[in-house]
Amino acid sequence: MNLLEKYYLQGKGKLMAGIFVLVVLLIISTIAFTGCFSSGKKSDDKNTVTVFNYGDYIDVSVLKTFEKETGIKVKYEEYVTPEDMYTKYKSGVINYDVICTSDYMVEKMMQEGEAQKIDTSSMEYYKNIDEKYLDFCKAFDPTNEYAVPYLWGTVGILYNTKVIKEKVDSWSILWDKKYDDQIVMQNSMRDAFMVPLKWNGISLNTTSQKELKQAQSLLLKQKPIVEAYLVDEARDAMVSGDASMAVIYSGDATVAMEENEDLDYVVPKEGSNVWFDCFLIPKTAEHKEAAEKFIDYMNRQDIAQKNFDYIYYGTPNKAVYDTLDDDTKEDYTIFPEEATLDKCEVYKYLGEKTDQYYNRLWKELKSY
């Protein structure tokens, strides 16, 4: 081999390598952009249903019995916050058939045309759902066509009766300097802003920038005495005694109270947020029929009962409620009194503009 040939071959080698790299890049970017990596899109199997739910929010044995009874395979995935869910859903990597999420997110997805109508008339167990709760759901789903309520609850104050001797019945206690470094606030935008809004008798669905700004200034005033902004860890902090007051979801409160009997939960007299987690079927669902079967199954009395026993949030299922003993029915943490519930509001989606304003205020609060 002479020198010329050698150089030629070397050059060719480089060229080939260059072309090779380019081709690989091209293939990969095509794959990435069309989303062929996704398992959801590839499966043509009619007999599966892909479910996306909050973490630890179902009695998993229910999934097994569903598979056994219907022969439909369940692919089950979990997320932490509705925003996480939305980001993942929007990325389109997996086509979910059933998504369980909260009221305002249901509304956002409805408005964006991401939810499709659910055929509730053909559902065998839909009638188990109490009309009362369907009325509540009309706040975000006016015709009750897009969302089937799964569980509901309130937001309130969980407090340690050993430390806090006075009566807790108002949000104002969260601004009491006596309790410096003992207060845990919710580390999620709307739940944090809900507190000063309701305290001042303002709707938690206000879109008035002035009112939101006022709420922010109250939160800024509160920040120095706040121990931490937490979500799931709030419960642990209360149980261990690291904090003596926390803004928390009723379900977390129930669990915490079981673990530490000094704890008590109250929905303040000014009212609060009542939330509904609902099933919806997204636009991109590929197994609508299976999805409807799954949702219907969740409403069957014995199944709803299992989930209620496991999660201990309020169930909208009348058939389950009727079988409960009086102690549970009168457990105001799970089923608050009508008078309290009357003052509570469901979150509504506030639109892009207010959403952005909220984000802005939240960042300012955190960076302060």
Binding site residue list for spermidine: 104
Which stretch, 69-77, 199-207, 226-234, 330-338, contacts another protein (CB under 8 A)?
Answer: 226-234
Does residue 92 touch another protein according to CB under 8 A?
no
Cβ proximity to another protein: between 43 and 81 the closer is: 81
Rule CB under 8 A: choose which of 6, 7, 11, 16 binds another protein: 16
Which stretch, 130-138, 239-247, 294-302, 325-333, contacts another protein (CB under 8 A)?
Answer: 239-247
Does residue 112 touch another protein according to CB under 8 A?
no
What is the C-alpha to C-alpha distance for residues 66 and 71, in angstroms, rounded to an integer? 8
For residue 230, the cross-strand partners are 186
Cβ proximity to another protein: between 137 and 212 the closer is: 212
Does residue 65 touch another protein according to CB under 8 A?
no
Q: What angle do CA 275, 281, 287 make, to 5 degrees?
A: 150
* 107-58-97-249 Cα dihedral, nearest 10 degrees: 20
Rule CB under 8 A: choose which of 161, 200, 240, 323 binds another protein: 240
Does residue 245 touch another protein according to CB under 8 A?
no
Question: Do residues 71 and 293 make contact, with C-beta atoms less than 8 angstroms apart?
Answer: no
Which stretch, 40-48, 224-232, 303-311, 337-345, contacts another protein (CB under 8 A)?
Answer: 224-232
Cβ proximity to another protein: between 222 and 317 the closer is: 222
Cβ proximity to another protein: between 29 and 323 the closer is: 29
Mode of pairing for the β-strands spanning 148-160 and 245-249: antiparallel
What is the C-alpha to C-alpha distance for residues 51 and 94, in angstroms, rounded to an integer? 10
| Residue type (1 letter), 76 | Y
* 283-292-77-104 Cα dihedral, nearest 10 degrees: 60
Q: Which token pair is 274? A: 């009542």
Question: Residue 329: CB partners within 8 Å, gap ≥ 6?
Answer: 321, 335
Does residue 19 touch another protein according to CB under 8 A?
no
What is the C-alpha to C-alpha distance for residues 224 and 242, in angstroms, rounded to an integer? 17
Does residue 225 touch another protein according to CB under 8 A?
no
User: Footprint of another protein on this chain (CB under 8 A)?
Assistant: 13, 16-17, 20-21, 24-25, 28-29, 32, 81, 83-84, 86-87, 90, 181, 187, 189, 223, 226-230, 233, 237, 240-243, 355-356, 359-360, 362-364, 366-367
